[in-house]
């Protein structure tokens, strides 16, 4: 799978990311990866469910990967912070 078929979830509304996924699939992509970190994980799950249930019922979740990223501290004196990550792969 190409890295260009990744949708990185942030703070925008769910429908923005749903449109991105649908655009990839209508552009001929067989797989789309939805990636999120931290508090955006719940939004990523919402995006996947909206794509599957409302717009493209033939899309299946093929792989779910979870992990932890270590990010550098924002201010001096504190240690690195662990942030949870998720990657959900959709396939048509």
* Better-scored residue on pLDDT, 3 or 23: 23
- Contact yes or no for 43/17 (Cβ under 8 A): yes
Question: Distance between CA 59 and CA 64 in Å, rounded?
Answer: 14
For 73, the token pair is: 């501290």
Domain count across the chain: 1
Question: Is the C-alpha dihedral spanning 59, 40, 43, 6 positive or negative?
Answer: negative
Confidence tier at 3 by pLDDT (50, 70, 90): low
- Condensed to tens digits (0 to 9), the pLDDT of residues 23-68 reads 999 999 999 999 999 999 999 999 999 999 999 999 999 999 999 9
- Contact yes or no for 37/52 (Cβ under 8 A): no
Indicate which CATH number applies to the domain containing 53: 3.30.110.20
Structural domain for 79, as ranges: 3-91
* pTM attached to this predicted model: 0.90
Q: What is the rounded radius of gyration, in angstroms, for the C-alpha atoms of the chain?
A: 15
**Residue pointed to by tokens 């662990």:** 82
Q: What is the pLDDT of residue 77?
A: 78
């Amino acid at each position: 799978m190409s890295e260009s078929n990744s949708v990185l979830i942030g703070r925008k509304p769910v429908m923005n990311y749903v449109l991105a996924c649908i655009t990839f699939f209508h552009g001929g992509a067989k797989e789309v990866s939805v990636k999120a970190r931290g508090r955006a994980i719940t939004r990523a799950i919402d995006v996947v469910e909206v794509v599957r249930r409302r717009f493209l019922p033939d899309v299946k979740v093929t792989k779910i990967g979870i992990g932890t990223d270590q990010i550098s501290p924002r201010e001096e004196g504190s240690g690195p912070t662990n942030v949870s990550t998720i990657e959900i792969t959709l396939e048509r």
